[in-house]
Structure 1
Amino acid sequence: MLKLDAVTVRFGGLTALSDVSLHLRKGEILGLVGPNGAGKTTLFNTISGLVRPRGRIAFNGTDISRLPLHRRARLGIGRTFQIPQPMQHLSVRENLAVAQVFGAGRYDPERIDEILAVMELSPKADADAATALALQELKRLEIAKALATEPKLLLLDEVLAGLESNAKRAFMLKLRELKALFDLTIVIVEHDIETISELCTRAVVLNFGQLIADGTPTEVFNNPAVVESYTGTADA
């Protein structure tokens, strides 16, 4: 579904991604992990079109390496941001409508109603998105906006961060429901190893912009290079 070949991103003298190659299969839930500053959000920005890399990115057989943001969205790449970014002075419903027109190129109020219902935001549909929502609701709105673009691939940037354990577990159940309901392939950035192990079928680890491990969560989290990247020491 998604294929990255030798993707490199440099900001001045800083190499944020170094020769990253990755193949994502349709229907996967892939966990993207690594220490702070490892390049995870840069990778999302590169896939979604906010950053132009060296190397090649293909999505469902189409080279998207030089396509602008909206063209990638209309091919089926949706994403959330680490910090929720509701559009100011717009209602929850209007936030979804703007996202839908941008990403899907059309306005479909029935689809928006469906997303509001599944994300449990219908009671707040006409509330001001920037001022009337609690943290969990803001996170649900981020996902709802991404769903409004009608994605095939959903990139989730730390949507579980800041949630206590019960709320995190409820969110994981919701993600599984969304995957089945909308036929999604999901990549999620998450620091919690237990969450990745429970939610994901596969995990990829970045460190200093390099891909250092790729496999099942059990394989990855027992990899000495991964242990060392988090702790600074590796088992003998």
Structure 2
Amino acid sequence: MLELDNLSVRFGGLTAVNTVSLKVGSEDVVGLVGPNGAGKTTLFNAISGLVRPSSGAISFHGKSILRTPMHQRARLGIGRTFQIPQPMHELTVRENLIVAQRFGTGKVNERRIDEVLDFTGLADKAERHAATELALTELKALEVAKALATNPSLLLLDEVLAGLETHGKRRFMGMLKDLHARFKVGILIIEHDIETISALCPRVAVLNFGQLIADGAPDAVFRDPEVVRSYTGAAHA
């Protein structure tokens, strides 16, 4: 489904993503981890079209999307959330989904919106003012709901669990597992908590200084000496 081939993103003299090659299939749930500043969100921005790669290739369902605008990538099936929830001000929860869906698909499907509201636990909040009347857990759910409303085949989830207390995090993890099974969507998720990512993802990819240094099962990846060094602050080899 998604394939990155030697992808690099540079900002002046800074290389934020350095020749990363990665594949994510429709059946995959892949955790993307690494220290702060490793390039994880920049990689998401390159995939979704917010930044232009300096070199390398991005293909989706076998076709290059390197020069495809962001809204067209959404319509091809790439949905994403942002680390800091971004509800659309002055709009209700339902209206947030309608705007997101129109952007991502070019039309409005009320049945899909109702299904997503019910799945994310926001059905009873549908007419609430999104920016001022939702708790943090609900704002995180709204981020996922907006992405789901676009009927994606790939979800890029940027730290959707960050800031949640233990009970909220556990409930959210359950929802993400159900999401993968119910909506048949591939998932690439950024998360800092190793225990959480190990429980959620059968596969983990690790970035450090913009480079992919490991990709595999969580037990093997988190025992990799280079991964251990990256998390303990040792100098990059």
TM-score w.r.t. the length of structure 1 is 0.97
- Give the 5 Å matches for 1:31-110: 31-53=31-53, 54-110=55-111
Deviation at 1:97, TM superposition (A): 0.1
Partner of 2:20 in structure 1? 20
| Percent of aligned pairs sharing the same letter | 66
Backbone CA RMSD of aligned residues: 1.0
- Give the 5 Å matches for 1:153-172: 153-172=154-173
CA distance in structure 2 between the partners assigned to 1:189 and 1:151 by the alignment? 18
CA distance in structure 2 between the partners assigned to 1:30 and 1:102 by the alignment? 26
CA distance in structure 2 between the partners assigned to 1:163 and 1:130 by the alignment? 18
User: After superposition, what is the alpha-carbon deviation per residue over 1:54-107, rounded to whole angstroms, capped at 9, x for unaligned?
Assistant: 210000101001100011001100000000000010000000000000001110
User: After superposition, what is the alpha-carbon deviation per residue over 1:31-61, rounded to whole angstroms, capped at 9, x for unaligned?
Assistant: 0000000000000000000011121000010
Partner of 1:8 in structure 2? 8
- Whether 2:126 is the aligned partner of 1:125: answer yes
Contact 2:26/2:184 (<8 A) preserved: no
Partner of 1:184 in structure 2? 185
Contact 2:38/2:210 (<8 A) preserved: yes
SS of 2:148's partner is helix
One-letter code of the match for 1:37? G
User: After superposition, what is the alpha-carbon deviation per residue over 1:89-147, rounded to whole angstroms, capped at 9, x for unaligned?
Assistant: 00000000000000011101111111111111111111111000000000000000000
Deviation at 1:232, TM superposition (A): 2.6
CA distance in structure 2 between the partners assigned to 1:178 and 1:232 by the alignment? 35
CA distance in structure 2 between the partners assigned to 1:101 and 1:230 by the alignment? 41
TM-score w.r.t. the length of structure 2 is 0.97
One-letter code of the match for 2:111? E
- Whether 2:198 is the aligned partner of 1:222: answer no
Contact 2:32/2:206 (<8 A) preserved: yes
SS of 2:133's partner is coil
How many residues were matched structurally? 234
Deviation at 1:24, TM superposition (A): 1.4
CA distance in structure 2 between the partners assigned to 1:45 and 1:232 by the alignment? 25
* Structure 1 runs (4+) greater than 3 angstroms displaced: none
CA distance in structure 2 between the partners assigned to 1:27 and 1:172 by the alignment? 17
Deviation at 1:233, TM superposition (A): 4.5
Partner of 1:146 in structure 2? 147
One-letter code of the match for 2:166? S
One-letter code of the match for 1:77? I
Contact 2:112/2:149 (<8 A) preserved: yes
CA distance in structure 2 between the partners assigned to 1:180 and 1:29 by the alignment? 10
CA distance in structure 2 between the partners assigned to 1:162 and 1:51 by the alignment? 26
* Unpaired runs of at least 5, structure 1: none
